[in-house]
Amino acid sequence: MSLEELVADLRARCCGDDIPEQVFGLESERTLLVELLESSITRGESNSVLVTGPRGCGKSLLLKLALRDLAAKPALHDSYLVIHLNGLVHGEDKSALREIAVQLHLDTLVAEMDSAEDTQPAGAGAGPADAGPSASMADDPLGEEGKEEIEQQSIAAVVQTLLAALRAADAATSKCLVIVLDEFDIFAHSGKQSLLYALFDAAQSGHAPLAIVGLTCRLDSRALLEKRVLSRFSHRQILLSKQISLETYTSLFRSLLLPSSAVPNSECVRAWVAGLTSLIDSPYVQQTLTNLHASDSKDVRALKSLALACVSRISTAQPQPQHTDLLLAYNEQAGDARVLTMVDLSVLELILVASLAHLVLRPQAPTLNFEIAFSVYREFSSDPKNRTVESFSKEVADIAFQRVLLLELAVYAELATRAPPHFRAVRLLVSPSQVAEAVEKHPTLPTLVRYWARRLLAGV
């Protein structure tokens, strides 16, 4: 196997959305979800469950693992169908119902829904442009509540039609429908939750086996449900978290850089595995992984980005992963966005930001504005010891200050005020430690200005 083929395989592992060969954790949650779905498929029991956890904790992976386990059982073949809906795409009830019909290949129902949508008058329910309130109420005798009731009945009828296509003589022999609602909280925010009510009501009625799996990152998703919808929910919830040990985190990083089992063993592969072992054992890499694990996110996707950065630097001139590549990728990934923004500022702009940060550090911090920040800069530039520092006029400094506001490093404290522009109160959105870091990393900051900024931010 050539080096190019090995790199292509590793790229696919880091960028692909497939189930990894090695899965760490999720054993108990996986077993629970498989048992829940299997009971719906084999015994005709309708169930609903909500998988909740922060982004990147493995909700989608858990669902894929459960569906793969079900597909691996020959007795369950042709016993169920899986429908995938996403709240970002199918947030509206009609769009979701149409997508269910499309995925079930019910072409006749799809055509009927499309024709009903096309034949609906564009101004249905609207009276003449010059009609008053009484005239519009007379033209619409149903009212808003009547319209909502008719719409609810229509959605429920469509859901029953969809389930009837899968229904057999009894519920135990009917084909089970597994509906996955990704971004479940968006469906909960949709109108009167008509779709959720129709689905949960159909699951509770038990006419046909139905399993509803919701995926959401909002821990309060159940509180978003109306009482009528919540009463039909099974109240099953699987909670996931990002609590992962450092050893598991390191093993996961190693698995991302190991060739897949489909890759034939060759001299190139053996050399890569040996180089990977020495890379992970390096104290520099161990410290980098420790820092990444200690961050608040503990996101596995950050590991994938780190592994992909290492793979992207592999070439014939450098066929082995290097710890310097890993450190460089980590610094780029873990960099503070506001610090990087301040590093690109001009010298005058950074001086004004440092002046505001210095004022924040005072025991009795004054009201921040352009005038007081410029006075700090003027005191520095007018000192005879700092004759080599370029002096800027107040008009130029004002332009630089406006760019600081444009980059949202500071904002006006009050939008509506009668104060003159130079005396309008501002609020600094960066901490003094971030400003100090930007001062050290700025590539063109004069030595004299850097020394002054250090003393200023140290409170001297």
Alpha helices in 165-261 (DSSP H): 184-188, 194-205, 221-224, 227-230, 246-257
Nearest to 96 by CA among 177, 37, 150, 159: 159
Q: What is the pLDDT of residue 136?
A: 40
- Report which residue type is found at 322: Q
What mean pLDDT comes out for the span 54-68? 89
Between 397 and 261, residue with greater pLDDT: 397
Concatenating the DSSP letter of every residue in 94-134 gives HHHHHHHHHHTT-HHHHHHHHHHHHHS-TTTT---TT--HH
Distance of CA 112 to the CA centre of its chain: 36
pLDDT at 122: 47
As a whole number, mean pLDDT of residues 268-282 equals 84
Q: What confidence tier does 13 reach under pLDDT thresholds 50, 70, 90?
A: confident
pLDDT of residue 130: 44
pLDDT value at residue 413: 84
| CB-CB neighbours of 178 under 10 Å | 22
pTM score of the predicted model:
0.66
Q: How far, in Å, CA of 148 to CA of 164, rounded? A: 24
**Helix, strand or coil, per DSSP, at residue 271:** helix
To the nearest whole number, what is the mean pLDDT of the chain? Answer: 81
Residue 295: what pLDDT? Answer: 64
Calculate ∠ Cα 341-436-364, nearest 5°.
110
How confident is residue 345, by pLDDT bands cut at 50, 70 and 90? very high
pLDDT at 120: 57
Q: Model confidence over 90-114: pLDDT tens digits?
A: 888 888 888 888 888 888 777 877 7
Token pair belonging to 80: 């169920």
CB atoms within 10 A of CB 218: 17
Judged by phi (left if over 0) then psi (alpha if -120 to 50, else beta), residue 351 lies in: alpha
